[in-house]
Structure 1
Amino acid sequence: MKKNVLKICSLAVLGLFFSCSEENYEKDSVLESENLNQELLTTKQINDGIKSTLEQTGQFYWKDASLQMLWSATQHGSNIVTIGYGSSQNDFEKASSKAIGIEEEILKIIRDNETSSSEKTLIYKDPVLNIIDVIIKDQSTLALLRQNNHVRYIEPGDYKFFQFEQENGTNKSSSSGSSGCGYESESLSSSDYTTITPNAKVPWNFYKHNIPTAWNTSTGAGITIGVIDSGVSPNQSLLGSNFNNGSSSGRSVQKYGTYVDSAWPWSTSTDGPNDKCGHGTSMTATATAPRNNKGLPVGVAYNANLISYRAASNVVLEGYHEQKGVQNAFVGLGNNSSVKIISMSMGHIFSVGRIEDGVRYANNRGKLIFCAGGTSTSFTNFVGVIFPAWMSETVAVTGIKEGSGYNKCSNCHSGSTIDFTVVMERSSSGNSAPVLSYYENQTDYVGGSSVATATTAGIAALVWAKNPSWTKTQVLNKLKQSASLYPNKNSDYGYGNINAALAVQ
């Protein structure tokens, strides 16, 4: 009996030895296959690598970066790493029963292989999507995770490309100062609008898409548009207490905030729904401003409902909290059964996995998502169509100049993933579209692919209100069929300008 016990114990110890040896062998094999070059790349070297890839392929994903580049970027981003996991590339929702086990597996790899002690390994665990944010300092840990079949993507969670561009002297303007923010107001030229009852100004470019004629059939009533941007001004009552004004009635406006204005990644308190940039106010006004009696510009879908999310501080989705805020806004709108359309006039020059997951989450719930193709600044004029507009789950929109043919507006992007265009720039004066200003009873001119996107979202609301039983695919097909270049798709301008009057027939 004693011999049998000894034999069993010996076999158990032997089995444990071989098990541990096999695990170490696999780990060593993975590390040997990776190029563990621990020379830290500078932010200039990383940015130059990103720009080089964009110039060659038009898109940049961290999965295609070298291990050295990925590790260096995390080092320059406070060691924050975002990991998307799942049993497959399409397993990105917590609905999967395997999610908890995979998450623990990944965290164990990190804890077992990090040589530097850290009080915090796990910063954030998403309650809806298969995403965790962690602290990783060792390059070897990243190498092991990259080889794990359950890791969908692994990315720097707080790498600030544009901040580093400025610090390196590549551009002289900050991302916030050149990204569409501003509280300016400007009086409108009488040639840039037409006054209609009860006393609203119709922007000149609405007529280029036959939007006023479309209003004879549909005004967007019963449709809810979700706008993901920098929020809505508390100083503009036509997007608040006077949302039902003039010929606009029986509709609702809701405002939320998912942006955390903090340098600390573990901070969770948002700074509310109010716009502190000005860009979000212009976008919500373009899509849904009332057909008012105050002598101010009207929105495309002036009887549609509005749900606004302050998801970022400005249009450049750079940094941990802005990217997380946008992801959470997509999830929030995805879970809102009343929302049909999502409009986002923000983006980044490279892919962000967590935002991609948020877009896919909303798309899977039947939302029709419009994204801006890109508006150039001093530091993005080398980029084609930006992320997430290049995703297949989104509808990409850009702006063009007034006149015959298709010529992109002075600061707009174009490319093969563009789906529609909106006339945004006057041929004579160069003026863009009249919109409500940040402040009460004031107006402004705002253009680019941002306003083009909000305009197209509004047209989609007119179509859906006319056909409330339709799916997003049916609405999108109708928009395509009503566009000037259909059935052909131009390599830079998609299906071209939508004729709203034809779209609502």
Structure 2
Amino acid sequence: MKKTLAIAAGISLLVLASCSRDEDVIAPITEENVILIEQESDEFLTIEEVNTIINNQLLERGVFSWDEVPANVLWSAAVHGNELITVGYGNKGESFREGKSSRLEGIQNDILLTVAASEEQTRSDLKYISDDVLNVIDIHVTSLETIRNLKAMSNIRYLEPNGYSYFTAKPDVTVSQQERSSSGCGMSGSTLNTNDYRTIAPGSLVSWTLDNHNVTQAWSQSTGAGVTIAVIDTGISPNQPLLSPGSSGFGDGYSINNRTVEKYGTYIDSPWWWSNNLDGPDDKCGHGTSMISAATAPRNNDNKPVGVAYNANLVSYRGTADVLLNDYHERKGVSNALRALGDRNDVKIISMSIGYLWTIGNVRDAVRYAHNKGKLIFAAGGTSTVVTNSYPVIFPASMPEAIAVTGVTDAANYKRCDTCHDGPQIEFTIIMERDNDRNRTAAVLGFYGGDNDYVGGSSVATATTAGIAALVWGKYPNWSRAQVLNRMRQSSELYGNPSNNFGYGNIDANQAVQ
């Protein structure tokens, strides 16, 4: 049997990021470079061929889903991605379980027996990782027959080649040797323009971006005390004492000395998907440190930028190596972080300035789990190069369980930042870029003690919004997630007449805490 597919030829690989530093230049696909080819349904495809199928779906629909491709495409991508397939099982929408279920255990056992038979192995010889909360199992596969047999099973929600990395895949490099992306990373500090901050007592710098949202006025009502913000990103720099656990800097000056900072790591830095060697909580990229600074940096006399919620508690998870979820261990790391945070009663807000162009099943399941536990989840709408700004809001900001945020300039009318995405999923915007100088963005702490830095894109917009949510919840600690979110909407510039691209628009933090 043959199937005709539209394949985009000669396309550069797309790179998305959630920060405006160290971006890669790409070329968008167009109707002119789409050609038709015939593809055998049992043919093993090259990485380039898989990539063009992905690009073609994005061109035609604006989204890509592994559910929409034939078995041989899934098989090819799985083999290219360390011979891994992720299986989401259960009934439709059954992302997780609250306790033991003999029905779900039976489905999982049937999956393993099916794979064992197709792969001509015993069940005990299979290499797999099963999640004990999410209805997800990662399995080593090599055979097209395995994929076909799994697709034929009932109670399978999705099949995904979760080790396949479209953005970093290269036809002449084996998967285990692929270079990981460093999108959004940067450890060098910057000298701040004196017009991009002002100094307040007892000696802190307020980024110009915060004044556009009346954050300092809101501090007379709330500073986020008693609220815990969790940031899932690349971790905290061990070289930034103002954000370090056990350091007096985090609770110094006007920041209360008993507020807490915790850091954990769920990312595994290994080419082998079955590895369980955690890489630790320390930031090796710089992006996570910037996001944490924007949300929670202390207000003291060190002459450094202060965060929005400078009295909030912080929980940091290093779930990823950079802002792109283009590696199995990054996807698993974020999923595990969401699971752990969902189980914490003290965590109210989760901020994720990370993402990917299409849905990742195990991360989606974990977002739903955390959301079901009452967490208010903010996610970056997407940041990329100028030529990819026509692409839609990225995952997981595209999910209904997440609150999508993007960045705009300080122009009189709403104008997205140079590298930001917008679209109907966006709920809030943050002014984070000078319209007349796109290099002047939000002022934050640097990676190293003593350093300052600039950071832009929808990343810092998301972290800033999470900080504003903490101010509201700090003022009204008994409010529900829905009440906090509704107050934020009501306090935004476009409330009553939301924009299709910018949602409720810019938030007035002072109005939100009244």
TM-score for the superposition, normalised by structure 2: 0.87
Q: Give the number of the structure whose alpha-carbon radius of gyration is greater.
A: 1
Cα-to-partner distance string for 1:76-97 (whole Å, 9 max, x where unaligned):
1121011111134225226251
Aligned to 2:66: 62
Aligned to 1:15: none
Structure 1 residue 451 corresponds to structure 2 residue 453 = no
Aligned to 1:198: 202
* Equivalent pair of 2:293/2:444 in contact (CA under 8 Å): yes
Q: Which moved more, 1:244-253 or 1:109-118?
A: 109-118
* Equivalent pair of 2:95/2:134 in contact (CA under 8 Å): no
Q: Where in structure 2 are there 5+ consecutive unaligned residues?
A: 1-38
Aligned to 2:377: 369
Residue identity in the other structure for 1:141: T
Q: Which of 481, 494, 505 is equivalent to 1:496?
A: 505
Structure 1 residue 391 corresponds to structure 2 residue 399 = yes
Instruction: Map residues 87-98 of structure 1 onto 2, 5 A cutoff.
Output: 87-93=91-97, 95=99, 97=101, 98=103
Q: Where in structure 1 are there 5+ consecutive unaligned residues?
A: 1-34
Deviation at 1:412, TM superposition (A): 0.6
Aligned to 2:485: 476
Aligned to 2:351: 343
Aligned to 1:105: 110
Instruction: Map residues 308-387 of structure 1 onto 2, 5 A cutoff.
Output: 308-377=316-385, 381=389, 383-387=391-395
Deviation at 1:488, TM superposition (A): 2.2
Instruction: Map residues 161-172 of structure 1 onto 2, 5 A cutoff.
Output: 161-164=166-169
Aligned to 1:17: none
Describe the shift of the 1:427–1:89 C-alpha distance in structure 2 as closer, same or farther (beyond 3 A): closer
* Equivalent pair of 1:330/1:358 in contact (CA under 8 Å): yes
Q: 1:93 & 1:119 partners in 2: Cα distance?
A: 25
Task: Decide which structure has greater helix share.
Answer: 1
Aligned to 1:154: 159
Q: Which of 219, 233, 244 is equivalent to 1:229?
A: 233
Structure 1 residue 486 corresponds to structure 2 residue 495 = yes
Q: 2:481 & 2:504 partners in 1: Cα distance?
A: 17
Q: Which of 235, 240, 250 is equivalent to 1:243?
A: 250
Describe the shift of the 1:176–1:379 C-alpha distance in structure 2 as closer, same or farther (beyond 3 A): farther
Aligned to 2:34: none
Query: Alignment partner of 1:104: what SS?
Result: helix
* Equivalent pair of 1:81/1:157 in contact (CA under 8 Å): yes
Residue identity in the other structure for 1:396: A
Q: Which moved more, 1:426-435 or 1:82-91?
A: 82-91
Deviation at 1:271, TM superposition (A): 1.2
What is the total number of aligned residue pairs between the two structures? 466
Deviation at 1:58, TM superposition (A): 2.5
Aligned to 1:461: 470
Query: Alignment partner of 2:169: what SS?
Result: helix
Structure 1 residue 403 corresponds to structure 2 residue 411 = yes
Deviation at 1:306, TM superposition (A): 0.1
Query: Alignment partner of 1:164: what SS?
Result: coil
Aligned to 2:270: 262
* Equivalent pair of 2:64/2:358 in contact (CA under 8 Å): yes
Deviation at 1:377, TM superposition (A): 4.1
Deviation at 1:379, TM superposition (A): 8.8
Deviation at 1:391, TM superposition (A): 0.2
Aligned to 1:303: 311
Aligned to 1:436: 445
Q: 2:218 & 2:255 partners in 1: Cα distance?
A: 16
Cα-to-partner distance string for 1:204-250 (whole Å, 9 max, x where unaligned):
01011111111111100000000000000011111011110110012
Q: Which of 429, 436, 445 is equivalent to 1:421?
A: 429
Query: Alignment partner of 1:141: what SS?
Result: helix
Q: 1:421 & 1:477 partners in 2: Cα distance?
A: 15
Instruction: Map residues 140-151 of structure 1 onto 2, 5 A cutoff.
Output: 140-151=145-156
Aligned to 1:31: none
Query: Alignment partner of 2:168: what SS?
Result: helix
Aligned to 1:28: none
Q: Which moved more, 1:105-114 or 1:356-365?
A: 105-114
Residue identity in the other structure for 1:371: A
Q: Which of 39, 43, 49 is equivalent to 2:43?
A: 39
Q: Which moved more, 1:123-132 or 1:267-276?
A: 123-132
Structure 1 residue 279 corresponds to structure 2 residue 283 = no
Aligned to 2:128: 123
Structure 1 residue 83 corresponds to structure 2 residue 91 = no
* Equivalent pair of 1:94/1:129 in contact (CA under 8 Å): no
Describe the shift of the 1:298–1:167 C-alpha distance in structure 2 as closer, same or farther (beyond 3 A): farther
Query: Alignment partner of 2:212: what SS?
Result: helix
Query: Alignment partner of 1:202: what SS?
Result: strand
Aligned to 1:48: 52
Deviation at 1:182, TM superposition (A): 1.0
Q: 1:224 & 1:54 partners in 2: Cα distance?
A: 38
